Chain A
Amino acid sequence: MKISIKLLSIILLGLSIASCEEDFLDRKPSNMVSEEIITSNATTIEVGINGTYRTLASYMFDGLYVPALVEVTSGDALICQANNYSWFVPDYQHNIQSTSGYAGSIWIRAYRVIDNANVILANIDEAQGDESALANLKGEALTLRAYSYMKLANLFQAETYSANKQADCVPLRVQPYDAAEDPGLERATNEQIYLQIEQDLLEAVDLLNDNNRTGRFSKRAAQGLLARLYLEMEQWQDASDWAIACHRSQVLDPSLITDGFYDYNAESLFGYDYTETDNGIFASHPSFWYYMRPGYEGEIYGYSSIRYTPEFVDLFADDDARKMFVEDDLGFFGSDGSYFTYKFQHRNDQLSVARMIKMRVSEMYLIEAEAKARLLDEVGARNALFVVQQRSIPSASLSTNSGDDLINEIYAERKKELYGESFGVLDNKRMKIDVDRSSSFHWGYESSSITWNNPILVQPIPQSEIDANPLISQEDQNEAYR
């Protein structure tokens, strides 16, 4: 019947859609790619490395949280009492819990950097492309991993390396994670972690180009990291040797110490390249430290809640170029007599548009000084120290201190040179110098002196790690948070 045929054809039309079944159900994303693509050749690996730097530079990791935490837990810096919008207050008061947001954010990001590096390192030897480019990329991956482990160790280790090599550190992961096969990781020892860092850096320093490409690790940065590492491990000769290999007797320029820290200069060895669009805006390093430099008429401000005690400011000689402080007597921010610093500025006075310098040549001279002082080469130590002092203080003269006095002078110089640059309480712990909270400007908690190995100076292992990791339990948590 005519009708049947018409109907039959309608039915067949409907069913014919089924014929494209083969790829009808196969769809792929338009803005994400697979691992095989990223690890295939030098160009793609570089893309993977670029992404990894961005995680490292995140304000929730090394862009803000790490520098802020190590600074406000020390004795020289504080959070202002009024209008601090609750940023970093419990940390400043050494009153945090394992559920602290900062510890958890730092932990996951550090391990993301490590995971990205692990995947690249596991595949780079089979990748195609220019040999020297691949070698440099391998060096970058190794340094990224080592740097992340250094941050993790410094924040989460139960005790410092020099105090106890066998103390609990952080889990050591150097292979890409396989969800099906992985047996889980417990906390490795300081020794295991530091040996891995040392191994990664020693391999990297030979692979990296010596081009000081800004925003990325280069040979000189790896040399500097080795100097830092050996200083922490108290291998003084190695520390001194690598510090010298890094600073290369470069002359320090007086004008560069006050140039605002928002761009690279000849003394920058490594830093983060923030663009106008990917900095954390209010949640950025300069936002928290910044105060308008004298003479500035405008109204740009960030949180500006990190301050310094008058006792710290008094450490500086009056003609010390690094004495970049203004007393807080502004009604808006709350007048409490502590000091703002204008060391960290913003480019074109635009909030948070700034690069972040993570390592400078002058640090290397200070490492050399400290290492040599420990090796009892006090002449060498004083000379290295003087390089840093005379750059900033026109009236400086060569030190005549020795023994503990020399060490203390080097400690004070480190503070004056490197305040706000992610050292803070880490220097206290490494140099076994108690945290001095005696300034009357400290507020909100009880003791005026905290011993360098007090468990409250250690960050808690994030509760989420303990909850999800069957090999780390509450008993393995750092002492102050059990």
Chain B
Amino acid sequence: MLIASFLLLGTVIAQAQNGLITGTVISAEDGEPVIGASVVVKGTTIGTATDVDGKYSLNVPSSATTLEFSFIGFVTQEVVIGDRTVIDVTLQSDATELEEVIVVAYGTVKKTSFTGSASVVENADLEKVNTMSVNQALLGSTPGLQINTASGQPGAQSTVRIRGTGSLKAGSAPLYVVDGVPIKTGNISDVAHDDYGTSSDVLSTINPNDIESITVLKDASAASLYGSAAANGVIIITTKKGKAGDSKITFNAKYGVSTLPSMRYELMNSKQIYGFYYDRYLQDQMALNPADIDLAVSNANALTIQTLTHNPYNTNQPLDAQGNVVNGAKIVVDTDWIDAVYRTAQTKDYSLQTSGGNENLTYYLSGAYSDFEGITVGQGFERYSAKFNIKSKLRDYLTVGSENTLSRTMQSTPPGAGGGASPMRMAMLFNNAVPVYQVDENGEPIITNGAKSYNWHNPVSLDYNPLGLNELDIYETNTNRAITSFWGEATFLDGFKFKSIFNVDYLNMDEFRFYNQYHGNGQPVSGRGTKYIKSDLGWVSSNTLTYDKQFGEHSINGLLGFEAYERRFDFLQSEGTGYPDLGGATQPELDNSSRASEAASFYNESAKLSTFGQMMYNFRNKYYIQASLRRDGSSKFGSDKQYGTFYAVGGSWRVSEEEFMSSVEKINNLTLRASYGTSGNDDIANFAYLGLYMPQSYNDLPGYVHSQLPNSSIHWEENQNFNVGLDFRFFNRVNVTYEYYNRLSFNLLYAKPLPGNTGFLDITTNMADMKNAGHELFITATAVATNDLKWDISLNASHNKNELITITQGKQIEGTKIWEEGGSIYEFYLEEWAGVSDDGRPMWYTLDGDGEKVTTSNYSQAVRFKQGVASPDLFGTIGTSLSYKNFDFSLDFYYSLGGKIYDSVERELLNDGSIKGYQMLTDMLDCWTPTNTNAQLPRFVINNSDKSYSRSTLFLHDATYVKLRSLNVSYNLPETLVSKIGVSSAKIYFSGNNLFTWVKDKDLKSWDPELDLNGIDLMRTPNPRMFTFGLNIGL
């Protein structure tokens, strides 16, 4: 249809009485006709397209000199017309498509010869999301790669999983390799620590602007070469390098604005919450003082004010005996705490990149500065980074190079989650009658000495105020990082190459936390300052010998390697209390404290030794086979358990190369792949096999207590991965990749629970087996491709099923989940809500004597049932991009279907009267009363002991959602304009991220259903909505 219309277009545009030229366009690779190839008179809009036989027919004006032939996936060809009337053209395929080289374990390989499962994400896709974090940029880019960023705090960690969670207690995150060397990732912060619901991911020291491409290795064939660290897959990051003869200078500037996404929690205002408590207090007081209504009214008002801790009205007796507002009374305090704690934040990002060189020396040099404010008061992230990559060909046979990354990040992270000092928690739970500042009876802030004073009284956290604490407390995490590699590569004999890399990854983190002496945590000790200095120094020496040779139709590639690795973590903490009261001039550094309250230091070391080898063979570029073997020794296990051996085997068959396929013209590539292999996981604490005593002093005397039981039989976790895949490309427009995988993890290390009577809650043992199996689909299609207009659509979908195969004792309860043989580790195991009883009490399900489900209003009787899995059934991205002349437009939707979320924020906002004064959802206004018996929520009674809002499925919701994740519009300034300014290229762009989320379950009120894998929503900064404007100039 498209082809017909183009033909029509061609004939209409063609001028009269000009020469007619015809011909056929075929592909060089297989001799097949190229359908829909564009044939245009160069410099004009006169053109046509080839038909199903690759033939075209075009009327050209006499002034025409050159014809241009082009099609996606082929190198555009210009042909001088001369005086020919028949011009046949053979188009060469564009090397980037089929001969694409991808970065894999310990080298690069042609995509067609790779039997493993690897997905590549290019820089252009990373740029669509304005984030300072590499992980967040990867969301939705690769099937099977699941990224959950539960907190919108800048610099926060994301949970990253490739093909499901493969481990229980050991780490389940993939290995990150940058420019050939594994680096440290994760959170080593004490100030921005899990316990406080915050984090500082050291991966955010890497500037995404410096990344050229990312390869995600998913199966054994791809990853096993990394052996014991590869059980969870590998993410290979390749940074930008210079190209000979291509000198570039690029300047990038971005300015963005982040805001809170739409909130679905509807919270009570002052009038509502006052009325709510007043009505109930009045009832109670009327019952106590039936004769004296005035006393009842007076007491009810007083009790309400006491409960809210502040009177939001301008009079002491604002409501009367009917519950109505008296004349003259009005609300003067109605604090929107969400608005007070969250703000519109700015993001700025500037970078300058230069690269270039000649055949003997290439370089890449960049410098950047980023400043991401967080939307929660007090949050911020700044980064200075520089990159210097150089490669020099010293001799014909010898090349050396160096890659260096330097960065410094500075983060401020007020606590999140349920911590008492968490501004997010206070924003949600402070009722609107609590003022931010101390106010008079008219709600006006009281000014003392020219300044307002914060109000520190509230029903939630003794002596806290989120804005006040923000001015007085300090939470700072600074990370300095240097990643340096030196390598040399020598070629010798015929086909041999030896490469030696030495890399150092040095992290230095200094942190400071200060609890002021006036209010909050530091008040009882007159201020507490804590300083941490940590360093994490790792070095890797990696040596590989490769052999590459083509013998006629046979092609062989061999690899032999040896690697040594050591990591040392040093920790220092010092703390002081007893700060002076110098008004606002008290300095927080420890010198100013009068008492040393803590001095701690320790170090931790780990080491690894590995030898590995790999063989790749192919026959006629049709049949491929790959095999690898690796032996690792780790210091983390007892002396006779240190070594593990891992192997993988893979093969692929390029069906489309077969004789019988040559007649099927439409299919450009059809490859079948399969692989099987093993890998290991040693990402556990360094000394889990030893029996240990840890220091615990008493009365300033040294003391030690028994802290860990020995387990000398602990050893590697092992993964067995099976993968089968299909790559399909047809019409030279559509690419489909489908994979099925089955990943068995066994001898999983986990904390086997022990009865408390042993003195221990658990012991680490290898005692479970788990399976992750699933399907992945990736489709990209070029709907339209002409000179001016290009329209692509892409879709990816992943489905993973997690199943625990064996676990000692058959099952184990883990918080809100149950781990049971045959079930997923993300299976919710909760008491089941059964509604409201006739007399307003909560009901849950329990089992009667016959095992039948009946209801009970006694929570201790409620029985836990399996309630469904937190993880989604299907997740992925649907995206489209359009480019027309100088405009580019793209849209990406991230979807997650199925799964469940347990909203503990909702739980804290519902209250049956057992806790007084906290903010509540407006849903509570409709709770059960004797006159409102058809309610969804049970009765509210002051000092209620019904325990209505105990853990149950009342807070469990379907997690299906679709998010408009990014929208990008960019405009490349035209050549003419650009040369007038004196630059070589200029692009302006606008992007929106996290713009809108549509949630299926209307009862799910979470800000952002993108949560951590547990599916539990806690108080945290939501992922913000971001609008960014940017400018990219090439000089």
Residues 638 to 688 of chain B near chain A (Cβ within 8 Å): 639, 642, 686-687
B597 within 8 A of A: yes
Interface pair A25/B697, CB less than 8 Å apart: no
Nearest-neighbor residue (CB-CB) of A482 within chain B = B860
Interface pair B698/A30, CB less than 8 Å apart: no
Distance between Cα atoms of A93 and B941 in the complex (Å): 15
Interface pair A282/B524, CB less than 8 Å apart: yes
B533 within 8 A of A: no
- Known A-B contacts A33-B704, A116-B705; the reply to A179 vs B711 at CB < 8 A is yes
Interface pair A34/B756, CB less than 8 Å apart: no
Distance between Cα atoms of A184 and B306 in the complex (Å): 52
Among B597, B693, B695, the residue within 8 A (CB) of A277 is B597
A173 within 8 A of B: yes
Distance between Cα atoms of A273 and B462 in the complex (Å): 27
Distance between Cα atoms of A53 and B498 in the complex (Å): 61
> Which B residues are CB-close (under 8 A) to A55?
696, 705
Distance between Cα atoms of A169 and B697 in the complex (Å): 32
> Which B residues are CB-close (under 8 A) to A81?
916, 943
Residues 240 to 261 of chain A near chain B (Cβ within 8 Å): none
B69 within 8 A of A: no
Binds B, one of A8-16, A220-228, A428-436: A8-16
B1016 within 8 A of A: no
> Which B residues are CB-close (under 8 A) to A107?
756-757
Q: Interface residue count for A (Cβ, 8 Å)?
A: 95
- Known A-B contacts A11-B543, A469-B755; the reply to A29 vs B690 at CB < 8 A is yes
- Known A-B contacts A15-B543, A18-B609, A32-B693; the reply to A171 vs B757 at CB < 8 A is yes
Interface pair B492/A3, CB less than 8 Å apart: yes
Interface pair A47/B524, CB less than 8 Å apart: no
B915 within 8 A of A: yes
A211 within 8 A of B: no
B706 within 8 A of A: yes
> Which A residues are CB-close (under 8 A) to B711?
179
Interface pair B758/A10, CB less than 8 Å apart: no
A332 within 8 A of B: yes
Interface pair A34/B860, CB less than 8 Å apart: no
Interface pair B564/A470, CB less than 8 Å apart: no
Interface pair A177/B693, CB less than 8 Å apart: no
Interface pair A462/B708, CB less than 8 Å apart: no
Interface pair A25/B642, CB less than 8 Å apart: yes
Binds B, one of A83-91, A388-396, A415-423: A83-91
B459 within 8 A of A: yes
> Which B residues are CB-close (under 8 A) to A481?
860
Among A51, A98, A185, A445, the residue within 8 A (CB) of B757 is A185
- Closest chain-A Cβ to B280's Cβ sits at a distance in Å of 14
> Which A residues are CB-close (under 8 A) to B608?
25
Binds A, one of B222-230, B331-339, B599-607: B599-607
Interface pair B698/A34, CB less than 8 Å apart: no
Among B307, B597, B634, B704, the residue within 8 A (CB) of A38 is B704
> Which A residues are CB-close (under 8 A) to B756?
104, 107-108, 111, 462, 464-465, 468
- Closest chain-B Cβ to A301's Cβ sits at a distance in Å of 9
B397 within 8 A of A: yes
- Closest chain-B Cβ to A302's Cβ sits at a distance in Å of 8
> Which B residues are CB-close (under 8 A) to A52?
703, 705
A82 within 8 A of B: yes
Among A26, A31, A54, A170, the residue within 8 A (CB) of B697 is A54
B633 within 8 A of A: yes
> Which A residues are CB-close (under 8 A) to B947?
95
Interface pair B757/A170, CB less than 8 Å apart: yes
> Which A residues are CB-close (under 8 A) to B760?
112, 115, 177
B973 within 8 A of A: no
A24 within 8 A of B: yes
Interface pair B633/A25, CB less than 8 Å apart: yes
Most buried by A among B604, B708, B763: B604
Which DSSP category, helix, strand, loop or mixed, fits chain A's interface? Answer: loop
Among A21, A24, A47, A472, the residue within 8 A (CB) of B704 is A47
Q: Interface residue count for B (Cβ, 8 Å)?
A: 83
> Which A residues are CB-close (under 8 A) to B86?
none
> Which B residues are CB-close (under 8 A) to A114?
759
Distance between Cα atoms of A281 and B462 in the complex (Å): 13
> Which B residues are CB-close (under 8 A) to A50?
697-699, 701-704
Among A115, A276, A278, the residue within 8 A (CB) of B758 is A115
B96 within 8 A of A: no
Interface pair A17/B564, CB less than 8 Å apart: yes
Interface pair A445/B604, CB less than 8 Å apart: no
B541 within 8 A of A: yes
- Known A-B contacts A10-B490, A14-B500, A17-B541; the reply to A352 vs B759 at CB < 8 A is no
> Which B residues are CB-close (under 8 A) to A184?
755
What is the 8 Å Cβ interface bit string for chain A, positions 148-191, against chain B (1 contact, 0 not)?
00000000000000000000001101000101001011000000
Interface pair B943/A53, CB less than 8 Å apart: no
What is the 8 Å Cβ interface bit string for chain B, positions 985-1029, against chain A (1 contact, 0 not)?
000000000000000000000000000000000000000000000
> Which B residues are CB-close (under 8 A) to A278?
697-698
B692 within 8 A of A: yes
> Which B residues are CB-close (under 8 A) to A470?
809
> Which B residues are CB-close (under 8 A) to A69?
none
> Which B residues are CB-close (under 8 A) to A101?
none
B595 within 8 A of A: yes
Distance between Cα atoms of A281 and B463 in the complex (Å): 14
> Which A residues are CB-close (under 8 A) to B812?
467
B545 within 8 A of A: yes
Interface pair B698/A51, CB less than 8 Å apart: yes
A57 within 8 A of B: yes
- Closest chain-A Cβ to B194's Cβ sits at a distance in Å of 19
Among A95, A111, A350, A472, the residue within 8 A (CB) of B524 is A350
Nearest-neighbor residue (CB-CB) of A480 within chain B = B860
- Closest chain-A Cβ to B2's Cβ sits at a distance in Å of 57
Distance between Cα atoms of A15 and B607 in the complex (Å): 16
- Closest chain-A Cβ to B868's Cβ sits at a distance in Å of 21
- Known A-B contacts A25-B635, A82-B916; the reply to A32 vs B705 at CB < 8 A is no
- Closest chain-A Cβ to B920's Cβ sits at a distance in Å of 16
> Which A residues are CB-close (under 8 A) to B915?
86
Interface pair A32/B692, CB less than 8 Å apart: yes
A75 within 8 A of B: no
Distance between Cα atoms of A98 and B859 in the complex (Å): 11
What is the 8 Å Cβ interface bit string for chain A, positions 52-95, against chain B (1 contact, 0 not)?
11110100000000000000000000000111011001100101
> Which A residues are CB-close (under 8 A) to B545?
11
> Which B residues are CB-close (under 8 A) to A89?
914
A303 within 8 A of B: yes
Residues 938 to 968 of chain B near chain A (Cβ within 8 Å): 943, 945, 947
A97 within 8 A of B: yes
Distance between Cα atoms of A28 and B638 in the complex (Å): 11
A48 within 8 A of B: yes
A424 within 8 A of B: no
Query: 5 closest pairs, A vs B, by CB?
Result: A115-B759, A50-B703, A51-B703, A14-B543, A273-B699
**29 A–B contacts from the bound complex (CB under 8 Å):** A10-B500, A11-B500, A25-B633, A29-B686, A29-B692, A32-B687, A34-B692, A34-B693, A35-B706, A37-B693, A47-B704, A50-B703, A52-B705, A53-B703, A54-B696, A82-B916, A83-B309, A93-B945, A95-B945, A112-B705, A115-B759, A116-B705, A171-B755, A177-B759, A179-B710, A281-B524, A282-B462, A465-B755, A470-B809
Could you list which residues of chain A lie within 8 angstroms of chain B, going by C-beta atoms? 3-4, 7, 10-11, 13-15, 17-18, 21, 24-35, 37-38, 47-55, 57, 81-83, 85-86, 89-90, 93, 95, 97-98, 104, 107-108, 111-112, 114-116, 118-119, 170-171, 173, 177, 179, 182, 184-185, 215, 273-278, 281-282, 300, 302-303, 331-332, 334-335, 350-352, 443-445, 462, 464-465, 467-470, 472, 481
Given known contacts A21-B633, A170-B757, A276-B577, what 19 new A-B pairs fall within 8 Å (CB)? A3-B492, A17-B541, A18-B564, A26-B635, A26-B639, A47-B704, A53-B699, A83-B462, A107-B756, A173-B759, A177-B759, A215-B699, A276-B597, A281-B524, A282-B462, A300-B524, A302-B524, A332-B457, A465-B757
